[in-house]
Chains A and B, each alone.
Chain A
Amino acid sequence: MSTTSNITTTQETSELNSPDLHLLERPPQVLNNRNPLWVTDAVCSIVEGKTPLWWYAAIAFTGTFAAIGGACILYMICTGVGVWGSNSPCFWAWDITNFIFWVSMAHAGSLISALLFLTRQKWSLSISRAAEAMTVFAIVCAGVYPAIHIGRVWFVWFLFPVPNSYGMWPNFSSPLLWDVFAVTSYLTVSSLFWFAGMIPDLAVLRDRATTKVRKFAYGIVSLGWLGTARQWRHYEMMYVLLAGLTSVLVVTVTTIVASDCATSVVPGWHATIFPFYFMVGAVYSGSAAVLTLLLPLRLIYPQLRDLITPSQLDKVCKLLLLMGSCVGYVYVFELFNAWYSANPFERGAFWERFTGSSAWYAITCLSINLTVPQLFWFKAVRRCLPLVFVLAILCNVGMWFERFMIVTSTLTHDFLPSSWKDFHPTIVDILTATGTLGIFFTLFLLFIRFVPIMSMNELKATLPGAQPHGDAINSNHLAEEAH
Chain B
Amino acid sequence: MSHHLPKTQGSSGFQGHHLPVAGSKEEPLYAIGARFETPEALVQVVDHLRDQGVSLYECFTPYPVHGLAESMRLPKSVLSLLVLGGGISAVLIALSMELIPSCLIYPLVVDGKPLNLSALPQYIPIIVALTIMIGAVTAVVGMILLGGMPRWNNPMFAWDLFAKDASRGFFLAVEARDRKFSTSALTELLHELGAGDITAIHEEASEGK
Contacts and interface: CB of A to CB of B under 8 A. Distances in A.
B78 to A, nearest CB: 9
Given A224-B154, A236-B64, A468-B43, A35 B4 contact: yes
B147 A168 contact: no
B63 A231 contact: no
Interface in B42-98: 43, 58-69, 72, 74, 77, 79-80, 83, 97-98
Interface stretch (B9-17, B164-172, B175-183): B164-172
B101 A238 contact: no
A237 B80 contact: yes
A431 interface: no
Contacts of B80: 237, 241
B39 A37 contact: no
Nearest to A458: B63
Contacts of A233: 69, 74, 77
Range class of the A interface residue count: 35 or more
A173 interface: yes
B62 to A, nearest CB: 6
A480 B1 CA distance: 8
A35 B3 contact: yes
Contacts of A465: 3-4, 38
B205 interface: no
Contacts of B185: none
Contacts of A238: 77, 79, 139-140, 142-143
A238 B133 CA distance: 14
B158 interface: no
Interface string A225-236: 111111111111
Nearest to B156: A226
B163 interface: yes
User: Which of B5, B74, B111, B125 counts the most chain A CB atoms within 10 A?
Assistant: B125
Contacts of A476: 3
B33 interface: no
A177 B125 CA distance: 10
Interface stretch (A55-63, A77-85, A150-158, A180-188): A180-188
A260 B101 CA distance: 23
Contact of A172 (B126, B146, B164): B126
A470 interface: yes
A460 interface: yes
User: Which of A178, A203, A220, A259 counts the most chain B CB atoms within 10 A?
Assistant: A178
Interface string A208-227: 10000000000110011111
A229 B108 CA distance: 55
Contact of A467 (B39, B108, B113): B39
B16 to A, nearest CB: 29
Interface in B151-167: 151-154, 156, 163-167
Nearest to A40: B167
Contacts of A169: 101-102, 105-106
User: Which of B111, B163, B168 counts the most chain A CB atoms within 10 A?
Assistant: B168
Contact of A460 (B62, B126, B143): B62
Interface in A469-483: 469-470, 476, 480
A225 B108 CA distance: 52
Contacts of A36: 4-5, 62-63, 167
Contact of B125 (A178, A237, A248, A460): A178
A245 B136 contact: yes
A171 interface: yes
B132 A228 contact: no
B125 A227 contact: no
A466 B125 contact: no
Nearest to A255: B125
A196 B140 CA distance: 7
A234 B136 CA distance: 14
B176 to A, nearest CB: 17
Interface in A31-49: 33, 35-37, 40
A189 B134 CA distance: 9
Given A161-B101, A234-B143, A249 B132 contact: yes
A64 interface: no
A173 B132 contact: no
A369 to B, nearest CB: 28
Given A230-B74, A460-B62, A461-B64, A224 B136 contact: no
Given A161-B101, A200-B63, A238-B77, 10 more contacts: A172-B98, A208-B164, A225-B147, A227-B63, A234-B77, A241-B83, A245-B135, A456-B167, A467-B66, A476-B3
10 contacts: A36-B62, A173-B122, A178-B125, A223-B151, A228-B147, A236-B77, A457-B63, A461-B63, A461-B64, A480-B1
